[in-house]
A = this chain, B = another copy of it.
Amino acid sequence: MATSTVENYLKSILRLQRRSGSTAVGEVARELSLTPGTVTTMMRHLSGEGYVDYQPRRGLRLTPDGESAALRVVRRHRLIELFLVQVMAMDWTEVHEEAEQLEHVVSDRLIDRMDEMLGRPTRDPHGDPIPDAEGNIVAMEALPLAEVESGMYRVVRVSDQDPDLLGWLDEKGMTIGEEFELSHCNRAAGVLEIVREEAERLQMGMQVAERVFVESVSA
């Protein structure tokens, strides 16, 4: 019964608290492009509803209720994204925005139909894990390409937010599952280079490499 606005707050908090287990008013405000005052007001409200544990000036975190509500939204979002790509033949560059809207209105019934039709999938088109109906989610341990040593890797996840990034990756064939070797990595220059079959080279900037998550291939 949470409004779309509330669902979006919960989703953001879930993302932001992933690292340290908690987050702050300012982070949420930045994430949602709102003023801190707006977020403070909402945190008081969500705290009253039992969705977040909010200690003024100390920080905030989701309660178990808040977390399961957030996971329900994430599940919807990711199933919808996969559905749009697999069934509707839409492009992975354009499904994020669409899912962002649909996630707040599709019924449980329809979500389950999608889930069934897709064979109870565990990953969305960008490699993000899809929580099951109980909120269980497969942990992802992948590191950003920007933070690993030279070696052989496989793309397991990419950030789904930016259509331009996704478009470029797609064009270069850097989709989920793609394997390659990280050859040079000049952190100072902010550039790194990878090599794929046929000695094909590809350079990319660090802002890109921050958003491509890889796992090591035991060649």
- A residues lining the B interface (CB < 8 Å): 84, 87-90, 94, 97-98, 101-102, 104-107, 109-110, 113-114, 117
Please name the residue on chain B nearest to A105 by beta carbon: B101
Q: Cβ of A101: which chain B residues have Cβ within 8 Å of it?
A: 105-107
Q: Cβ of A104: which chain B residues have Cβ within 8 Å of it?
A: 105
**Would you list 24 pairs from A and B whose C-beta atoms are within 8 A, ordered by A residue?**
A84-B110, A87-B87, A88-B110, A88-B113, A88-B114, A88-B117, A89-B113, A90-B109, A90-B110, A90-B113, A94-B109, A97-B107, A98-B106, A98-B107, A98-B109, A98-B110, A101-B105, A101-B106, A101-B107, A102-B102, A102-B105, A102-B106, A104-B105, A105-B105
Copies of this chain present in the complex amount to 2
CB distance from A99 to the nearest CB of B (A): 10
A207 to B101, CA, bound (A): 38
CB distance from A166 to the nearest CB of B (A): 16
Q: Cβ of A84: which chain B residues have Cβ within 8 Å of it?
A: 110
CB distance from A77 to the nearest CB of B (A): 13
A102 to B101, CA, bound (A): 9
CB distance from A201 to the nearest CB of B (A): 35
CB distance from A97 to the nearest CB of B (A): 8
A89 to B113, CA, bound (A): 8
